[in-house]
Structure 1
Amino acid sequence: SHLSQSVDAVRAGDRGRAGALALSAYLDGFEPIEPALGIRDRTLLERIEGLMGEYRAAVQGGEGAERLSARVQVIGEVLDDAEAALSPNAGSAATTFLGAATILLREGLEALLIVVAMIAFVRKSERMEVMPYVHAGWFAALAAGLITWALATWVIGISGASRELTEGFGSVFAAVVLLSVGIWMHGKAQADEWQRYIRAKMSKALSGRSAWFLFGLAFIVVYREVFETILFYAALWNQGNGWPIVAGGLSACVALAVIAWAMLRFSRSLPIGKFFAYSSWLMAVLTVVLAGKGISALQEAGIIGIAPMPSVPRFSVLGLFPTAQTIAAQLIMLAALAVGFALNRRRA
């Protein structure tokens, strides 16, 4: 295997080749089965990701061949567990249904929160002329997702590196944009600030640049989730049980639609100040979450190094991963949010 070869490379004194082999073991060996394993046993998936990340860090950190060999043995044992979890006998129609529903809910909720906040903002600001740009953004993302699925199924294969890079750069870009949006919304939470904003905007239409910004943000946040969901669903589809997949996906769509309806209904009854205050905190939380997820994906693609922090728990839903780089990215975002919010309060 690539992992055993990487140990041999370390013994030969070639750490660079050992690191490349360790990365290939993840991207070419484990990444293709990751979507299917995430459905069957997410805890096992996260354990394998953590062990392989720690192994790559150990290779680059100068750990000896014997200790690396012991790590490879442990990884081999958990990969055997993964193979057992992925056996045809380990799955059923019920687990497929739950997997399909859970995946779409988990991946779709982040994008839904952002898009619903954008729609509510356009309504609150009474600038309905730009609403088509928001809807066009998420609709174009869904269409691009279908094209991606067709290409991945019949034309080309999507490599592990491509998947991680798409998720990583998409998440980091969205985090940076949401950082500025969150700070801006927090500044408008004061009634006087909002009234000044309205008076300034009433005299002129929202610029074309702002409208296309809304389109781009809606497209990015939805497509990164659609891209991830497609890969999971493709892995499920290859295992059979087509109808449970369809039923699970439709159930999740209904749940997301209900959530969107409830959020929009709630936002209409909110005073404008509270709406912006709540929205700014929502954007702040998503900024920190996406920063962690983005850096983690870029680490898995080999773009960013890995410095393990074993004392930090892994909680992927919140973008919390036990590495110094992901924690640093989230702390930077928290610091930027704190400074931005403090400046807003000082101006008010």
Structure 2
Amino acid sequence: MHGRLWRTGLVVVLLLVWIIPGHAHAADSNWRKVVDKIDNTLQQALETYDKGDVAEAKTQVNNAYYGPYESGQMEKAVKYNISSKRNAIIEEEFRLIRKSMTAGAPKAEVKRQMSKLVDMLQEDAATLSKSDSSPFGIFFSSLVIILREGIEAILVIAAIIAYLIKSGNEDKVKIIYQSTLVALGASVLTAIGLKYLFNISGASQENLEGITMLLAVAVLFSMSFWLIGKADAKRWKNYIEGKIQTSITTGNTLTLWLAAFLAVYREGAETVLFYQALVSGQEKVGVSMIGLGILVGALALIVIFMIIRYGSLRIPLKPFFIGTSILMYYLAFVFAGEAITELQAGYMVSATTISGFPIISFFGIYPTVESLIAQGLLLLATVIGLVWYAATSRKGVGKPEGKHMLG
């Protein structure tokens, strides 16, 4: 199984290398030209706004974001070569311009906001140009992308596999590997479809990613509490005895399969799109360095997976379950904030900005009421769940979780 996984992973890496170079477009290699396009579109929006057509002006601001900034690959380049926080700030500036137009702000105020945004983008363009300038810089950017995206997925997969082994269900590990391989293939096909086959708008892409992340939140959150419920030795003994009497079926492992699939699928599709951004306009040497970064990163992820996969088996049962539960909850919390920001970018969810509120990308915290409410609800559900768990534990309830996730 490990040999097939290794070979399949290598095939996917080679497929990514093949897909990306064939569709590079040199027009986007100069980030300053991308910023100039954004500036021109914003100036058109300002003129439209001055004429009194607020709706059309806001549409043109959206065009500047979804066109040159997003489709021109600058959004992804900023996110990975500078920081996710910087990208969130840029997105917020676009929102503030639209908000000012809606409020009927004076033309001078809207113009000032646009100038501020363009100045920030020019700074980012200069930074991106420097990061693109050397073969090592290109290699490093490529390596960081696959490591950053892959590690999150690996943490989820390795934790699930370790649980199956600890629970005496090693024969079900193959289901998780199958889910991972299906997700890898689906990621590549989805990215290709979004980029080249389907005429899907930038807003629709944002909404699709947001919905996928919300599904991941639900699955990871449920798994987090399920694992906490098994940390107690007596509860675990009851669970294992139940499994001796009733074997686990493939159908009952659906939740675990889905968790692995969503973890890989969500990261995989985005990874392909990020590489498309990185390769834009690169010469042959640059493309080779990107390919090398992908290969080295893929091999590093395999090593990381093996370390986590086998190292976790040596951790005592209770610390392992509690630690894994915390990890799952952390990812659910981060995804909740990021999912709402994606849906806000796609206009599926409104965005009410909190002025002066910090952006903490490590925890997926962004300065909008809606994203904070989503994470607040998750925290509230956690508090209620923990109180309920503590209450049932004191009463000596053996199986407070009701139906098992696996049977």
Q: TM-score, normalised by structure 1?
A: 0.90
Structure 2 CA distance for partners of 1:74 and 1:171, relative to 1, 3 Å: same
Q: Pick the aligned partner of 2:116 from 74, 93, 112.
A: 74
How many angstroms apart in 1 are the aligned matches of 2:193 and 2:324? 37
Q: Pick the aligned partner of 2:148 from 86, 106, 116.
A: 106
1:329 positional shift: 1.1
1:105 positional shift: 1.5
Tell me the residue number matched to 2:310: 265
| Structure 1 gap segments, 5+ residues each | none
Secondary structure at the residue paired with 1:305?
coil
Letter paired with 1:226: G
Q: Pick the aligned partner of 1:176 from 218, 225, 238.
A: 218
What does 1:64-143 correspond to in 2, within 5 Å? 64-87=106-129, 90-143=132-185
1:87 positional shift: 4.6
Q: Pick the aligned partner of 2:68 from 4, 26, 29.
A: 29
Indicate if the aligned counterparts of 2:358 and 2:367 stay in contact, CA closer than 8 A. Answer: yes
How many angstroms apart in 1 are the aligned matches of 2:56 and 2:196? 33
Moved more, 25-34 or 45-54: 45-54
Structure 2 CA distance for partners of 1:30 and 1:196, relative to 1, 3 Å: same
Residue 239, structure 1, aligned to residue 281, structure 2: yes
Tell me the residue number matched to 1:332: 377
Structure 2 CA distance for partners of 1:123 and 1:17, relative to 1, 3 Å: same
Structure 2 CA distance for partners of 1:202 and 1:65, relative to 1, 3 Å: farther
Structure 2 CA distance for partners of 1:71 and 1:216, relative to 1, 3 Å: same
CA offsets, 1:258-285, max 9 Å, x none? 3222222232112222221111111111
Q: Pick the aligned partner of 2:330 from 285, 293, 307.
A: 285
Moved more, 258-267 or 193-202: 258-267
Residue 19, structure 1, aligned to residue 58, structure 2: yes
Q: Pick the aligned partner of 2:346 from 297, 301, 310.
A: 301
Structure 2 CA distance for partners of 1:59 and 1:120, relative to 1, 3 Å: farther
1:235 positional shift: 1.6
Indicate if the aligned counterparts of 2:217 and 2:336 stay in contact, CA closer than 8 A. Answer: yes
Q: Pick the aligned partner of 1:163 from 190, 201, 205.
A: 205
Indicate if the aligned counterparts of 1:320 and 1:326 stay in contact, CA closer than 8 A. Answer: yes
Secondary structure at the residue paired with 2:248?
coil
Q: TM-score, normalised by structure 2?
A: 0.78
1:256 positional shift: 2.2
Indicate if the aligned counterparts of 1:172 and 1:291 stay in contact, CA closer than 8 A. Answer: yes
Moved more, 140-149 or 280-289: 140-149
Indicate if the aligned counterparts of 2:164 and 2:170 stay in contact, CA closer than 8 A. Answer: yes
Moved more, 327-336 or 59-68: 59-68
Q: Pick the aligned partner of 1:250 from 295, 320, 329.
A: 295
Tell me the residue number matched to 1:317: 362
Tell me the residue number matched to 2:392: 347
Moved more, 28-37 or 322-331: 28-37
Structure 2 CA distance for partners of 1:220 and 1:2, relative to 1, 3 Å: same
How many angstroms apart in 2 are the aligned matches of 1:312 and 1:88? 31
Structure 2 CA distance for partners of 1:142 and 1:31, relative to 1, 3 Å: same
Secondary structure at the residue paired with 1:314?
coil
1:8 positional shift: 4.5
Structure 2 CA distance for partners of 1:115 and 1:9, relative to 1, 3 Å: same
- Which structure would you say has the larger Rg? 2
How many angstroms apart in 1 are the aligned matches of 2:347 and 2:192? 27
Residue 147, structure 1, aligned to residue 189, structure 2: yes
Indicate if the aligned counterparts of 1:182 and 1:281 stay in contact, CA closer than 8 A. Answer: yes
Indicate if the aligned counterparts of 1:187 and 1:341 stay in contact, CA closer than 8 A. Answer: no
Indicate if the aligned counterparts of 1:295 and 1:326 stay in contact, CA closer than 8 A. Answer: yes
Number of aligned residue pairs: 348
How many angstroms apart in 2 are the aligned matches of 1:68 and 1:154? 35
How many angstroms apart in 2 are the aligned matches of 1:298 and 1:304? 5
1:121 positional shift: 1.1
How many angstroms apart in 2 are the aligned matches of 1:210 and 1:317? 33
CA offsets, 1:164-222, max 9 Å, x none? 22321111110111111111111111111111111222211224432233222211111
CA offsets, 1:82-117, max 9 Å, x none? 444455895221111111111111111211111111
Indicate if the aligned counterparts of 1:288 and 1:333 stay in contact, CA closer than 8 A. Answer: yes
How many angstroms apart in 2 are the aligned matches of 1:207 and 1:12? 66
Compute the RMSD of aligned alpha carbons. 2.5
